[in-house]
Amino acid sequence: MTPSWRSTKSCAPWWVMKTETEPPAGHSLVHLGAQGRGRNFWRAMPLQQRRRWLQGAFMALFLLAPSLNLFRFDLNETQLWVLGMRWSLGIGAFQRGEASAMQTGWAILWRGFLPALGLVAVFLGIAYKYGRVYCGWLCPHFSVVETLNGLLHRATGKLSLWDTSRTPHPTRTPNARWWPVFLATCLGCGLVWAITLLTYLLPPTEIWGNLYAGTLTANQARFIGIGTLLFTLEFTLARHLFCRFGCAVGLFQSLAWMANPKGMVVAFARERARECKTCDSPRGSACDHACPMRLHPRNIKRMMFSCVQCGQCLSACDTTQTEQGRTPSLQWQIGLDAVRETLRQRRDGAP
């Protein structure tokens, strides 16, 4: 079911929220161009389905980028590749006497520092306004975390090996036969991660060719072996801990978001808190069980530091409340609405 959160203002980026603006009278969707039809098709898609499509597309990009020379650094040639082109700072030309120190300095500034600072500024600017949307909507690691959460839950009823109690699910009964699937997936993802990271540093044709022929060099084999071991342990034992505190990309997004009182937040209608007792009875509050980061979505913003804005809590709230003939009590808010929500949270306290 497509969530139907309402607010007086647009609460999220176009790729997240569904528009409620109807076409003008006398204009049907058949009169829209291909772009309009595509966007309306996208907006009509359920929230979590849209997120899965974006995650899958970015996962494919992450795995294929080195092979397509979209982005990688070749240690053999000490050469950076960007969008299929050799990206040079002019240092080699300076060493060969083909460029002056002034020319090399300008090349480093224009082709090195400024593009890097620009990308960082745009990335943190998005995080400042919308929070960790990269983590929840694109990050390949988080996609694996969610997949492993589901497999472990099928095996044990828990989303983490460290959970002290099971997380209820309306249609799922724990079955030990899922244990081998969970462990094999952890190992497989660890192996793929290690190989992919190596292809960002060495020519992909060389790595995949050596793997196929069984002729990996000692250093290549050590990198893949140690990387597979570390990633497998992380996926098995510490995937949530890494996302919360170990990932620099996620940490800086959270810091930027926390610095903005108008940043997008999950707002809770506290005057309807009594409804939460029966929203997913007898299992408890649906939003708490839905969060893949093991957070409590109705809490105050500073307690939601690691929120990845995946919207699973909103989807769960919408589903359970709609089944009982009620509107959702959770919604995204941004700007002054977010400020008012934060002030109200400070005044009333967390549920």
Q: Which of 196, 221, 249 is the last residue in one of the domains?
A: 249
Q: Which of 202, 227, 249 is the last residue in one of the domains?
A: 249
Q: Is residue 98 included in any domain, yes or no?
A: no
**What mean pLDDT is predicted for residues 209-228?**
94
Q: Of residues 185 and 90, which shows the higher confidence score? A: 185
Q: Is residue 316 included in any domain, yes or no?
A: yes
- φ, ψ for residue 141, nearest 5 deg: -65, -45
Same domain, 185 and 295: no
Same domain, 64 and 179: yes
Whether 9 shows a pLDDT value over 50: the answer reads: no
Peptide bond into 282 cis (omega under 30): yes
Q: Is residue 295 included in any domain, yes or no?
A: yes
Q: What percent of the chain has pLDDT over 70?
A: 84
pTM value > 0.85: no
Q: Which of 219, 249, 279 is the last residue in one of the domains?
A: 249
Same domain, 218 and 272: no
**What mean pLDDT is predicted for residues 181-201?**
96
CB-hemisphere CA count at 13 Å for 217? Answer: 7
pLDDT by residue (tens digit) across 306-326?
999 998 888 888 888 888 888
Place of tokens 């699973």: 312
pLDDT by residue (tens digit) across 34-80?
556 666 777 778 888 899 999 999 999 999 999 999 999 888 888 88
Same domain, 294 and 243: no
Place of tokens 């002019």: 90
Same domain, 240 and 272: no
Q: Is residue 195 included in any domain, yes or no?
A: yes
Cα dist. 198→61, 206, 228, 297 in Å?
Answer: 16, 10, 11, 37
How far apart (Å, rounded) are the C-alpha atoms in residues 326 and 319? 10
Specify whether the CB–CB gap between 329 and 317 falls below 8 A. yes
Q: Is residue 32 included in any domain, yes or no?
A: no
pLDDT tier at 250, thresholds 50, 70, 90: very high
Cα dist. 346→203, 250, 261, 264, 270 in Å?
Answer: 53, 25, 13, 17, 12
Same domain, 244 and 289: no
Same domain, 218 and 278: no
Same domain, 302 and 324: yes
Same domain, 68 and 173: yes
The closest of 311, 183, 330, 334 to 264, measured between CA atoms, is 334
Q: Is residue 168 included in any domain, yes or no?
A: yes
Largest CA distance in the chain: 76
Give the range of the structural domain holding residue 153, as residue numbers without chain letter. Answer: 60-72+139-249
Whether 108 shows a pLDDT value over 60: the answer reads: yes
Same domain, 194 and 336: no
- φ, ψ for residue 99, nearest 5 deg: -145, 145
Tell me the torsion sign for CA atoms 328, 329, 332, 333: positive
Same domain, 153 and 235: yes
The pLDDT assigned to 347 comes to 65
Same domain, 205 and 67: yes
Specify whether the CB–CB gap between 181 and 151 falls below 8 A. yes
The pLDDT assigned to 37 comes to 66
Specify whether the CB–CB gap between 43 and 19 falls below 8 A. yes
Q: Is residue 31 included in any domain, yes or no?
A: no
Q: Which of 122-131, 239-248, 266-275 has the highest mean pLDDT?
A: 122-131
What SS3 class is residue 86? strand
Place of tokens 């660890």: 190
The pLDDT assigned to 220 comes to 94
Q: Is residue 223 included in any domain, yes or no?
A: yes
Specify whether the CB–CB gap between 153 and 271 falls below 8 A. no
Work out how many domains the chain is built from and give that number.
2
